[in-house]
Amino acid sequence: MSVVEMGQRLGLRKTTAYWLVHKGCFKTVLVQGIMRVDIESFEHWYANQTKHRKVDGTPPGEALRAYSYSVQEIAELLAVSDYVIYTLIQRHQLETFEVDTRMRVRKDVFEKWYRSQTKYRTEEDRKRDAELERSSMTMPQMARLLGITRDEVYLILGKKRNRDVFDIVVVGDKKRVTYESFENWYRNQNRYQKVTGKISGLQEELEKAEDSAGKSLLDSERTSFTPSEAAALIGVPQRDVYRMIEEGILDSFTIGKMIRIRRASLEWWLSSQGEVFRREEK
The tens digit of pLDDT for each residue in 5-47 reads: 999 999 999 999 999 999 999 999 999 888 999 999 999 999 9
Are 131-207 and 212-281 the same fold in CATH?
A: yes
3-state secondary structure of 268: helix
Work out whether the CA dihedral 17, 20, 26, 29 comes out positive or negative. Answer: positive
Does an H or E element contain 130, and which?
Answer: helix 123-134
Q: What is the pLDDT of residue 217?
A: 55
| pLDDT tops 70 at residue 209 | no
Distance CA 272, CA 251 (A): 15
Q: Taking the domain 212-281, which CATH number applies? A: 1.10.10
Give, rounded to a whole angstrom, the gap between the first and last alpha carbons of the chain: 66
Distance CA 136, CA 168 (A): 9
What's the fold here for domain 131-207? Arc Repressor Mutant, subunit A (1.10.10)
Q: What is the pLDDT of residue 44?
A: 94
Do 142 and 175 contact (CB within 8 A), yes or no?
no
Q: What is the pLDDT of residue 7?
A: 94
Architecture category of domain 65-117 in CATH = Alpha-Beta Complex (3.90)
Nearest to 37 by CA among 47, 45, 46, 27: 27
Cβ neighbours for 189, distance < 8 A, ≥ 6 positions apart: none
Q: What is the pLDDT of residue 218?
A: 57
Q: What is the pLDDT of residue 208?
A: 45
| pLDDT tops 70 at residue 271 | no
Ramachandran category for residue 93: left, alpha or beta (phi over 0 → left; psi -120 to 50 → alpha)? left
Express each pLDDT in 160-180 by its tens digit: 889 889 999 988 778 899 999
The secondary structure of residue 258, as a DSSP letter, is: E
Distance CA 20, CA 1 (A): 14
Strand locations in the chain (E)? 28-31, 34-37, 68-70, 97-99, 102-106, 136-138, 168-171, 174-178, 224-225, 252-255, 258-262
Domain ranges for the chain, please list them: 3-60, 65-117, 131-207, 212-281
Query: Predicted confidence band at 275 (pLDDT cuts at 50, 70, 90)?
Result: very low
Express each pLDDT in 97-126 by its tens digit: 999 889 999 999 999 999 888 788 898 888
Distance CA 150, CA 241 (A): 20
Distance CA 172, CA 136 (A): 13
* Measured torsion, CA atoms of residues 205, 208, 212, 216, in degrees rounded to the nearest 10: 170
Nearest to 31 by CA among 3, 7, 11, 9: 3
